A and B are shown apart, each in its own frame.
Chain A
Amino acid sequence: MFRILVEKELREIIGSTKFAVTFGVCSVLILLAFYVGARNYQVSQAGYEAARAENLKQMEGLTEWTRVDHRIFLPPQPLSTLVSGISNDVGRTTEMRTQGELRSENSRFNEDPIFAVFRFLDLEFIFSIVLSLFAILFAYDAINGEKERGTLRLSFANSVPRDRYILSKLVGAFLALGVPLLIPILIGATLLPVLGIPMTGSSWTRLGMVILAGYLYLGVFLTLSVFVSALTEHSSSSFLLLLVVWIFAVLIIPRVAVLISGRTVDVPSIDKVNYEKNRFRSQLWQEDREKMNDYSRENPPSAGEDMTQWMEGFRAFMTELSNERNEKSQEFGGRLNEDRRNREVVQHRLALGIARLSPTSVFSLATTDLAGTSLELKQRYAEAVNRYQETYAQFIEEKTGTQGGMFFMMRSGGEEEEEPEEIDPYELPVFEYQEPTSRELVGGSLLDVGLLLLFNIVFFAGAFVAFLRYDVR
């Protein structure tokens, strides 16, 4: 009986014009998302390589490591092409210094506002907006539509158990929508390595999980539609109700959640934090300036003293002051940053907690976690940059004998001066951004994948209970 009902549902959906049109649209969109995503990755990767090469090239010919302007770059993530998350909003370039706080700049949307206007078409967008709408379109009249046409009464004139009927409705709709969609998805996935996306085992696993989350999300809207269809008498009412739910889930709740948390948890602005830091640094500088002036007054170079030797002593004094100052600044700045970060974490938790009332937010969070383009990306990149700064500082210290910060260059014009040797920029330690392991990423997304499953179960249970009490006449 169950098989017959599933078959009927399948035939009904697959044989409809609605299916042909929506399947065509979805297939084109999915293939387009994979293709354009892969091409975008290639462009971003080429830009990244060119920027790295240009960065090293601009150092060629320099003779002092102290004059190096070194930049490091966040490489594009392969799966960001399918789930962009915040990858276009984070700064991708960091000007490297041996000391002090580093700031990442040049986010894609800041540099190319044209892409910010309409944003990108990625797999996450297609699932969360287009497929959810089509899921509603296929199931909004699953129960009440049959009643309106009189086929529900006919079906129940036979000995059909209600539980099997509702289950077959869902399974049929899910198979009819999900299985054909696998075709463009699989073609798209095959295109990725062909188009030069470096897909590792971890990337494939995560892509698989993204698709699984997409199917669970599709399931949420199918079960919800059947549920609403079993709650209402007319298909027009269920469609209207579902459209309202869709607007709230997709467009309203995620945005309102962020705004509520923004109002509830006060996070000091970056400007204020920076001002505090600058003020503290300025105070330290004022104090040290007195010491420097005193040194210059109390230890003037005596007549006939070798100037280079005097400068060496002065440099040692300055380096000591500079190191002390930097240590204090870093400690103070670190405390401010930590305080801001803690507040930010509370704000994020509240926002995401509220946003998770919407399956769309849950899906977005799950997929961005899996693709490595979630809110964590910014923090992870910042941590990688800070780790690299230590390596870089060590390298510069080895090369120059100083930790950087303040350099004194003695330029003399003696004819006996030797031609200085050029530095080799390729000796610089290479910055590698390590993506988190798939275990970490999948682990981070489990809560949201679980929530999607829970939404499915709750809506199915609702549909089941509502249908058991449904008046089929």
Chain B
Amino acid sequence: MFFTLFEKELKAILLSPKFVVTFGICSVLILLSVLIGVQEYQANVDQYETAIQLADQEVREATSWWGINNKAYRKPNALQIFASGVNNDIGRLSNISTWREVKLRQSVYLDNSLFALFRFIDFTFIVQVVLSLFAILFTYDAINGERESGTLKLTFSNAVPRAQYILAKFAGATTGLIVPLLIPIALALLIVMVMDVPMTGVEWWKLLALIGTSLLYFTFFIVLGLLVSAMTRRSSVSFLVLLVAWVLFVLILPRAATMAAGQIVHVPSIAEVESQKDRYRTDRWSSFWEERQERWRDNMAQMEGMDEEERDEYRAEHQEEWAQADDDARQLAQEDMAEFERKTNEDLNNRKGEQERLAFTLSRFSPSSAYQLATMNLAGTNTTLKARYEESMKAYRTSFSQFVDDKREEERKRSRQQQSGQRTVIRFGGGDQSLDVSELPRYEAPESTFTEAIRPSIVDIGLLALFSIVCFGGAFTMFLRYDVR
């Protein structure tokens, strides 16, 4: 009996003109989004590689370790093809220098505002918005539609167990809608392979998990359709209720949640925080200069009463020591500034974290948000992307600064040796020859393992499963009590 009902449901879906149209559209959209995504990714890779080459060249062309400028770039991620997340909203690069803080800047949308106006289209977006709408379109009249057309009464004039009927409805709708969808998805994966997108084994696993999550989300809307259809008498009413639910889940709740969190948890603007850091920096440098001046006065006082020759001798004897004292003081000032920046950033990040937690908790009432958060986590394009890169760039900055500081010290020593015996020489740059940068530390983009990607997604995938189970349980219970007449 179950198979007969299942077959009937499957045929009803597959043979309807609605299916041909929606399947065609979904296939075109999925393939189009992946094709465009691959091209965008390749354009990003080209831009990234060119930028790295140009930055390297700039470093190689430098003639002094004092004037060296380095940049670290965010590496394009192959999974952005499927879930772009905040990839285009956050900065692509950061200056790496001893003097300046690491900060991602120049987002894709900032550089190309045209893209910001209409945004990109990706696989996640299509599943989230279009497929969910189509799932509703196929299931809004699953039960009450049969009642309206009189087939429900006819069916139950036979000895059909209700449990089997609703299970067959669910299995039929799910198979009828999901299996055909696997065709464009498989073709999309083929596009990724044919177009030579470099995907590692871990990335393939993440992609499979992302597709699995998408199908789970799609299933949720199928069972939601069944539930509402089993709760209402008329298909027009169930369609309206489902459309409103879709608008709420997909369009309203996620936005309203973040906006509410923005109102509840106050986070100071970055401009405000930067000005605070500037203030501290200015004050600290001022005190450094004052201390230095004080030391200079003391040193001068030591030479009082000496003639010029004695002074030169005394100066030559103590020059190293004085320079060391200045260096130590400068280092201390830099450490203080770094500590202040660290504390300020930590405070800011704590507040941001609090705001984010609240926003995501509220938004998770919507399966659509849960789906989006899960896919972004799996693709590595979630809100932590910025922090992750900034952290790794900070670590790189430390090794870079260490290396450059050593080189500067060598340069300074050379310069001092060349200057010895001269009274006043002002030199600009370290010479005409380019620097040997072969040993310069290179920036490595952070990579995440499959476990690291799946761990934060588990809550959301679990929620999607829970929503689906609850809705199916609801549909099952409602149908057991349903008046089939």
Rounded to whole Å, the gap between the CB of A235 and the closest CB of chain B is 10
Q: Is the CB of A110 within 8 A of B429?
A: no
Q: Which residues of A242-266 have CB atoms within 8 Å of chain B's CB atoms?
A: 243-244, 247, 251-252, 254-259, 261-263
CB contacts (< 8 Å) of B129 on chain A: these are 251
CB < 8 Å neighbour of A51 from B17, B85, B119, B271: B271
CB contacts (< 8 Å) of A175 on chain B: these are none
Q: Is the CB of A133 within 8 A of B243?
A: yes
Q: Is the CB of B119 within 8 A of A255?
A: yes
Docked pose: A73 CA to B269 CA in angstroms: 12
* B110 CB-CB contact with A under 8 Å: yes
Docked pose: A89 CA to B110 CA in angstroms: 6
Q: Is the CB of A257 within 8 A of B104?
A: no
With A21-B240, A289-B428 in contact, is A110–B105 under 8 Å at CB? Answer: yes
CB contacts (< 8 Å) of B125 on chain A: these are 251
Q: Is the CB of B47 within 8 A of A50?
A: no
* B274 CB-CB contact with A under 8 Å: yes
- Interface flags, B8-33, vs A, CB<8A=1, else 0: 00000000011001100100010010
* B331 CB-CB contact with A under 8 Å: no
* A286 CB-CB contact with B under 8 Å: yes
CB < 8 Å neighbour of B258 from A114, A270, A347, A375: A114
Rounded to whole Å, the gap between the CB of A207 and the closest CB of chain B is 20
Rounded to whole Å, the gap between the CB of B129 and the closest CB of chain A is 7
With A47-B272, A118-B258, A121-B255 in contact, is A85–B107 under 8 Å at CB? Answer: no
Q: Is the CB of A93 within 8 A of B271?
A: yes
Q: Which residues of A41-72 have CB atoms within 8 Å of chain B's CB atoms?
A: 43, 47-48, 50-51, 54-55, 57-59, 61-62, 67, 69, 71
* B324 CB-CB contact with A under 8 Å: no
Our count of residue pairs bridging A and B at CB distance below 8 angstroms stands at 267
Q: Is the CB of B107 within 8 A of A107?
A: yes
* B278 CB-CB contact with A under 8 Å: yes
Closest to B24 in A: A244
Closest to A376 in B: B113
CB < 8 Å neighbour of A355 from B25, B118, B266, B274: B118
Docked pose: A124 CA to B76 CA in angstroms: 32
Docked pose: A17 CA to B234 CA in angstroms: 12
Q: Which residues of A92-131 have CB atoms within 8 Å of chain B's CB atoms?
A: 92-93, 105-107, 109-121, 125, 129-130
Q: Is the CB of B255 within 8 A of A67?
A: no
With A85-B117, A118-B372 in contact, is A113–B90 under 8 Å at CB? Answer: yes
* A393 CB-CB contact with B under 8 Å: no
CB contacts (< 8 Å) of A112 on chain B: these are 267, 352
CB contacts (< 8 Å) of B32 on chain A: these are 252, 256
With A90-B110, A118-B372 in contact, is A301–B424 under 8 Å at CB? Answer: yes
Closest to A62 in B: B282
Rounded to whole Å, the gap between the CB of B459 and the closest CB of chain A is 16
Interface-facing stretch out of B169-177, B223-231, B246-254, B402-410: B246-254
* A357 CB-CB contact with B under 8 Å: no
Interface-facing stretch out of A32-40, A185-193, A210-218, A431-439: A32-40
CB < 8 Å neighbour of A375 from B113, B269, B352: B113
Q: Which residues of A16-42 have CB atoms within 8 Å of chain B's CB atoms?
A: 17-18, 21-22, 25, 29, 32, 36, 39-40
Rounded to whole Å, the gap between the CB of B217 and the closest CB of chain A is 16
* A403 CB-CB contact with B under 8 Å: no
For A, the interface residue count at a CB cutoff of 8 angstroms equals 102
Rounded to whole Å, the gap between the CB of A402 and the closest CB of chain B is 18
* B385 CB-CB contact with A under 8 Å: yes
CB contacts (< 8 Å) of B306 on chain A: these are none
Q: Is the CB of B117 within 8 A of A375?
A: yes
Q: Is the CB of B114 within 8 A of A351?
A: yes
Docked pose: A117 CA to B253 CA in angstroms: 13
Docked pose: A211 CA to B172 CA in angstroms: 46
CB < 8 Å neighbour of A58 from B244, B270, B282, B359: B282
Q: Which residues of B401-426 have CB atoms within 8 Å of chain A's CB atoms?
A: 423-426
Rounded to whole Å, the gap between the CB of A286 and the closest CB of chain B is 7
* A411 CB-CB contact with B under 8 Å: yes
Docked pose: A305 CA to B352 CA in angstroms: 59
Q: Is the CB of A121 within 8 A of B271?
A: no
* B111 CB-CB contact with A under 8 Å: yes
Docked pose: A121 CA to B282 CA in angstroms: 40
With A110-B104, A296-B426 in contact, is A69–B89 under 8 Å at CB? Answer: no
* A329 CB-CB contact with B under 8 Å: no
* A293 CB-CB contact with B under 8 Å: yes
Q: Is the CB of A129 within 8 A of B251?
A: yes
Interface-facing stretch out of A157-165, A271-279, A384-392, A445-453: A271-279
Closest to B289 in A: A411
Docked pose: A261 CA to B113 CA in angstroms: 13
Q: Is the CB of A40 within 8 A of B51?
A: no
Q: Is the CB of A105 within 8 A of B105?
A: yes
Q: Which residues of B98-119 have CB atoms within 8 Å of chain A's CB atoms?
A: 104-107, 109-119
- Interface flags, B41-60, vs A, CB<8A=1, else 0: 00100010011001101100
Q: Which residues of A134-156 have CB atoms within 8 Å of chain B's CB atoms?
A: 137
* A300 CB-CB contact with B under 8 Å: yes
Known contacts A21-B240, A114-B383; 17 further A-B pairs (Cβ under 8 A): A18-B240, A51-B271, A73-B271, A90-B113, A106-B270, A113-B386, A117-B86, A121-B259, A255-B118, A256-B36, A258-B114, A262-B115, A296-B426, A300-B424, A300-B425, A375-B117, A411-B296
Q: List 20 A-B pairs, Cβ < 8 Å.
A: A39-B263, A40-B262, A47-B268, A47-B272, A54-B271, A54-B276, A58-B279, A71-B271, A86-B116, A93-B274, A109-B90, A114-B383, A117-B254, A121-B252, A121-B255, A255-B119, A262-B43, A269-B47, A289-B429, A413-B300
Closest 5 CB pairs of A and B: A58-B279, A51-B271, A47-B269, A54-B275, A116-B89
